[in-house]
Amino acid sequence: MDSLLLDIVIKVIFALLFVAVIMSLAAYSVLGERKVASWIQGRVGPNRTALPGISAIPVLGPQLVKLGIWQPLADGVKFLFKEDPLPGHVNKLYYCLAPCIALVPALTTMVVLPVGQYMDGDVVKPIILANVDIGILFILAFGSLGVYGIVIGGWAANSKYPYFGGIRSSAQMISYELAMGMSILPVLIWANGPNSGLAGLSLFNIVESQQGMWLGVWMPIPAFIFLVSLYAETNRLPFDMPESETELVGGFHTEYGSFKFGLFFVGEYAHMVIGSAVFTILFLGGWNFLPDFGIESLHWLSDPWALMPNWLGGPLSVIYFIGKTLFFVFLFMWVRWTLPRFRYDQVMTLGWKYLVPGALICVVAYAIIIGLWDIAFAIDQTPAIVE
Amino acid sequence: MADSETNLVTINIDGNEHSVPNGMNLVDACESVGVEIPHYCYHPKLSVAGNCRMCLVEMGMPMRDRATGEPVLDDDGVQKIGWMPKPAIACASKTMPGLHLKTKSDLTKECREGVMEFLLVNHPLDCPICDQAGECRLQEFATDYGRGFSRYVEEKNVKPKRTKLGPRVTLDDERCILCSRCVRFCDEIDENPVLGFTERGSYNTLTCFPGTQLDSNYSLNTVDLCPVGALTSTDFRFKMRVWFLKPTPSICTESSAGVNTEVWSREGVIYRITPRRNDLVNDTWMADTGRALYHQVEAENRMKSFRVDGNRASIGEATQRVRELMSVGPVAYVGSGQMSVEEQWMLRKLAEVEPGAVHFVYHQGEGDDRLISKDKTPNLRGGLLTGLLKTLPETHLHALRDQLEKGEVKTIVCFGEDLVKAGIGPDLLKKANIIYLGSHRNDTTDIARVLIPTLTVFERSGSFVNQQFRLQKFAQCVPGPAGLLPTTALLARIISEIKGDAYTAPSNPMLWREMGLAIEQFAGVEFAKIPATGLELDSSAFAQLPFVEEKGWHYEPAAEPAGAESSAH
Amino acid sequence: MAVKVVDRSPLNFWEKTYMPQVLGGLKITLDNMLRPKVTLQYPEERPTIPDNYRGVPTLVRDPNGREKCVSCQLCEFVCPPKAIRITPGDIDDSDENAHVEKRPKDFEINMLRCIYCGMCQEVCPEEAIFLQDIYSVSGYSREELVYHKAKLYELGGTLPDQHYKWDRKKEAEEKVAAGGHH
């Protein structure tokens, strides 16, 4: 009993830590967004918010202020203390529900997200809340639930622009869901292919299978299709059809303000962070340091963490993973402030006419290639992990 | 000169033929056909001095052979023009058949540039502080005909800057261009020769003769006459630049002379009154006292709110109270010569609805045989024409007083007349219900039960009939105090309150259509078409009435034999 | 007009994917990101105001301390948004500037109306009103932002005078007074 209780307590603490990290990453992504936008536009960005006390520390304090470190705090406090209007013409239940529905799936997906590894004796184990072997399916399933928040929000707001935003969002999600799902298939074929054993759909296994080569390098087209679909799924530019300020005022959240809007906002960024993490896991070798090209003597290159003591290797793997993730978060922003928004028909054309067929071709092509690889180099190797 | 009006001759100005009256002054003749000849010293109502030389033009006559008198023709068979070798001043020339003028020739231009340069040599650069700026002939002609630059580098003359010539006129001698218009005005029109030039050459200075000052009641006309800013009105001095002021045609209410005026206002504030030319009434003159009348608009004792029994009330409460008081007992009306014809007509309509005798007060005072008559109201004759009066009123309301004493009158509706001054004691007045419509407070307003504030002549439009039985319009110059209605509208409200029917504010054209039908002398008169110079009405019905007005500049009492020309000068 | 023929050759495969353009765009924004920032940190850093800058209109005094405005009201007349309102007044004979005769009793500029066009400065015959380098105007009420004469002179200060028109006039008067007739 004791060990079970301890297990639960540890899991809860762990979960809370996860939520804290993801949420603060989301919050600081907002800051990052503003900073990146300013830099690209030749500006400085938020550099005024000061926290009494800490900002008085010489050298460091002003430097933090200059970086805008305290801005998310101020924003959060503002969202909390603003008047929370409830328009008279909305469907009140769904109006209030929508922001939660937008945020919850983003946070739920992190349950199956491995973020690093540690050694349990000689066995490499993932740092993960729940190492389910259908991880990728779980993420796809829950990730696409996020659209309900937008659609319900748009509908419940009971005014035309939010409604348009909601409709657009649902159509866009369905279109890109397909391409996204299919672009992962080559990854899964690989992960369950030549070099692996009984891993199934576990994300940890996918990472482990990329020690030889990051999949993004030799599967660039599926990676690209996945990335594009990810942008569409997270409603980021150039696919932010549901918001589309110039056409739809603010899209689905036109009628929202204060804390509810804040939830939408954080949800979008949480989605973005999770999406980047998933991309890192699927195509960028997760926390693997560098590819070892399958050469045994170079194994330390791909998995240096295993050689370190747990107290060092574990956190370092996590940090390295977060670093890779943050690069993609940055890419999100970089793209946002570079590319203009697509026209809606272009979004549909791109999704249905190029990405879906492209993904299909990739599935077939990589299945054949991996099949041939399997036949040619079928080496009876012990799988990296044994569950 | 009378026949010259009908004799048209053809003159040629800058190659264009124009038909103008024979013997007319050339400056006026050119102006009448739209050709400007710049001039300073010439004034149509003054004698010709010819000292400014600004109106120099080239003149010529068709050439005739000296011996035979035959026309001299050129090669094309057209009669040659014998141009005078030197330019001549237009103001001292009269039109004659075949006269040729060059007003735009190089010589003419050069003359004007030269004259302008000499005038500007000693003229100070005062325009920023000069009240004349904006209506200054020197400014205008310097722009239109001047050289555009100065070659003068020496020190300018120094002369007295702030001489008080009289109680109302301030002289800035440096600005004077010595046109002598003011001197001639005092001499010829005012017949009070106090102004003159002393010293010589560039020392030439305008002054009053020793022991005199420019204190005539017509002294401010010199300010109007002055083409530059030398003579300025002490009242208007530094008050407002003229380019902000909007002139509105009005009629002076000082006396029954009906002097035509222009009221200059900006954003609802009146700054000055000047005469408006009407050769049949006041030429281009008016008295100084009439120019000060605009002060009544912002006077201390101006009434601005409706009052019932001493308390502030709305217009509705006031008219309701008027109806109640008028139904108490016999009503008497005290009309006024300050009311416009339209208001008198509305009063007549009220007197028909609620019958009662209409009394007037004959305000008699000093006249000056010029533009101030003995009748101190502008529209007593309107009362006669509208039928309010059958005969001339008394100077006091003794008849009404007697009726009051006998208790034959319970309610008096009074239009701006101070009944106490008109001879009814306050104690007696307190026995009656006084309904007072007027613009200012006086002894009577203290007693009145209902006070209805009215607009001054500057705040409403209408028409007066002056001593010549000349119907003249005045326009609204400034908006009245908030909430105040024209007296015609007030009377219409009272009438509809008594009758109990719907109220519509009457317009002046509407009232004139009614009057045109009802009153013989007004037949065919349309309000909009009353000319700016007025409309002379048929006065034969009143020829026998002993009006108090004596002979003025443009008025002959009908009772006297009308032998002389109406113009005294 | 000369006809310019624009190259409309069909796109090749690579161009049709738009990727070169996308990558080019990303490069441009990346370059921008690494470039020095152009932001002026306003309250701490102030822009350098050029001499011909049109800031808040102010009234100036000449080096002798005489207020130059003679309330000719030309600026009031020319002001397109009608921001200026002058109450003219005369100068008392006992004043040392009595020879100027006229000065504003009050001079109001409604800074909420002013459009900083500089027409008042251009039209002023006495060179008394200048749009100087003040660009930051704030206040808590509308009344506060109607600047009156005292405030306008305070803002304007003293500017050099090239003419000393009125001083020369006074000199001439004094010379005449001392020398008799002229």
Within 8 A of B244 by CB-CB distance, chain C residues are 73, 76-77
Assess whether pLDDT exceeds 80 at residue A251. no
Higher-pLDDT residue of C76 and A125 is C76
- Residues, chain C: 182
Q: Does residue A119 lie within any of the structural domains?
A: yes
Using 50, 70 and 90 to split pLDDT, how confident is the model at A258?
confident
Cβ–Cβ under 8 Å, residues C58 and C130: yes
Q: Return the pLDDT at A193.
A: 65
Q: Closest by alpha carbon to A315, among A350, A287, A278, A340?
A: A287
CA distance A47 to B95: 87
Q: Does residue A349 lie within any of the structural domains?
A: yes
Give the closest of C102, C125, C172 to B155, CB-based: C172
Q: Return the pLDDT at C181.
A: 53
Chains B and A touch (3+ CB pairs under 8 A): no
**CB contacts < 8 Å between A and C, how many?**
33
Amino acid at B554: H
Amino acid at B244: F
Q: Return the pLDDT at A306.
A: 74
Q: For B103, phi and psi rounded to 5 degrees? A: -100, -5
CA distance A193 to B185: 122
3-state secondary structure B243-304: HHCEEEEEECCCCCCCCEEEEEEECCEEEEEEECCECCCCECCCCHHHHCHHHHHHCCCECC
Q: Return the pLDDT at B455.
A: 95
User: Is ipTM > 0.85 here?
Assistant: no
Residues in Cβ contact with A57 at an 8 Å cutoff, skipping those fewer than 6 apart: none
Residues in Cβ contact with B178 at an 8 Å cutoff, skipping those fewer than 6 apart: B51, B197, B204, B206
Q: Closest by alpha carbon to B287, among B369, B385, B409, B405?
A: B369
- Write out residues in chain B with pLDDT < 50, as ranges: 1-4, 560-569
User: What would the mean pLDDT of C45-72 be, rounded to a whole number?
Assistant: 91
Q: Which domain holds residue A307?
A: 83-377
Q: Does residue A66 lie within any of the structural domains?
A: no
Q: CB distance from A94 to chain C under 8 Å?
A: no
| CA-CA-CA-CA torsion sign (B131, B136, B140, B146) | negative
Residues in Cβ contact with B103 at an 8 Å cutoff, skipping those fewer than 6 apart: B13, B14, B30, B35, B36, B37, B57
pLDDT tens profile A165-182? 888 888 888 888 888 888
CA distance B217 to B104: 41
Chains C and A touch (3+ CB pairs under 8 A): yes
Residue A39, min C-alpha distance to chain C (Å): 5
Amino acid at C157: G
| CB-CB neighbours of A158 under 10 Å | 16
Cis, peptide link before residue A126, omega less than 30° from 0: no
Q: Return the pLDDT at A197.
A: 52
User: What would the mean pLDDT of C152-175 be, rounded to a whole number?
Assistant: 89
CA distance A212 to A195: 10
SS3 A339: coil
Cβ–Cβ under 8 Å, residues B491 and B416: no
Which tokens in the block code for residue A324?
A: 């890779």
Q: Closest by alpha carbon to A186, among A136, A146, A148?
A: A136
What is residue B130's DSSP assignment? Answer: -
C68, C69, C73: which to substitute to probe chain B, counting the most B Cβ within 10 Å? C73
Residue of A nearest to C21 (CA): A339
Assess whether pLDDT exceeds 50 at residue A35. yes
**Distance of CA B350 to CAs B378, B400, B495, B499, B521, Å?**
22, 19, 6, 10, 21
Q: Return the pLDDT at B3.
A: 46
Q: Return the pLDDT at A378.
A: 57
Residues in Cβ contact with B440 at an 8 Å cutoff, skipping those fewer than 6 apart: B296, B299, B301, B302, B303
Give the closest of C76, C102, C181 to B129, CB-based: C102
- Answer whether C182 sits within 8 Å of B162, measured CB to CB: no
Q: Does residue A67 lie within any of the structural domains?
A: no
Checking DSSP bridges between strand B331-334 and strand B411-415, what pairing results, if any?
A: parallel
Domains defined for chain B, CATH in brackets: 2-104 (3.10.20.740), 120-298 (3.30.70.20), 307-539 (3.40.50.740)
Q: Return the pLDDT at A30.
A: 86
pLDDT tens profile B274-307? 999 999 999 999 999 999 999 999 999 999 999 9
Chains B and C touch (3+ CB pairs under 8 A): yes
Q: Return the pLDDT at C58.
A: 94
Q: Return the pLDDT at B215.
A: 92
- Answer whether C41 sits within 8 Å of A43, measured CB to CB: no
Q: For B410, phi and psi rounded to 5 degrees? A: -105, -35
Within 8 A of C28 by CB-CB distance, chain A residues are 338
A 15-74 residues with CB below 8 A of C? 36, 38-44
Give the closest of C29, C38, C41 to A40, CB-based: C29
Least confident of A137-151, B123-137, B141-155, C35-49: A137-151
Percentage of chain A modeled with pLDDT above 90? 2
Q: Return the pLDDT at A204.
A: 80
Where would I find the beta strands (DSSP E) of chain A? 116-120, 123-127
- Answer whether C181 sits within 8 Å of B157, measured CB to CB: no
Residue A239, min C-alpha distance to chain C (Å): 14
pLDDT tens profile A77-136? 888 888 888 888 888 888 888 888 888 888 888 888 888 887 777 777 787 877 777 878
Cβ–Cβ under 8 Å, residues C175 and B151: no
User: What would the mean pLDDT of A28-48 be, rounded to a whole number?
Assistant: 88
Q: Report which secondary-structure segment, H or E, holds B451.
A: strand B450-453
Cβ–Cβ under 8 Å, residues B257 and B467: yes
Residue B235, min C-alpha distance to chain C (Å): 12
User: What would the mean pLDDT of C109-120 be, rounded to a whole number?
Assistant: 94
Q: Does residue A75 lie within any of the structural domains?
A: no
Assess whether pLDDT exceeds 50 at residue A358. yes
Using 50, 70 and 90 to split pLDDT, how confident is the model at A382?
very low
How far out from the chain centre does Cα A290 lie? Answer: 21
Q: Return the pLDDT at C129.
A: 94
Number of domains in chain A: 1
Q: CB distance from A338 to chain C under 8 Å?
A: yes
Q: Return the pLDDT at A295.
A: 73
Q: Does residue A78 lie within any of the structural domains?
A: no
B203, B238, B271: which to substitute to probe chain C, counting the most C Cβ within 10 Å? B238
Using 50, 70 and 90 to split pLDDT, how confident is the model at A387?
very low
Within 8 A of A43 by CB-CB distance, chain C residues are 37-39
- Answer whether A338 sits within 8 Å of C33, measured CB to CB: no
CA distance A49 to A63: 11
Q: Return the pLDDT at A134.
A: 80
Residue C63, min C-alpha distance to chain B (Å): 20
Using 50, 70 and 90 to split pLDDT, how confident is the model at A287?
confident
SS3 B283: strand
Residue of C nearest to A337 (CA): C29
Residue C43, min C-alpha distance to chain B (Å): 41
| CB-CB neighbours of B125 under 10 Å | 14
Domains defined for chain C, CATH in brackets: 57-162 (3.30.70.3270)
Q: Does residue A338 lie within any of the structural domains?
A: yes
Q: Does residue A56 lie within any of the structural domains?
A: no
Chain C residues with CB-CB distance to B under 8 A? 70-74, 76-77, 88-90, 93, 99-102, 125-126, 165, 169, 172-173, 175-176, 181-182
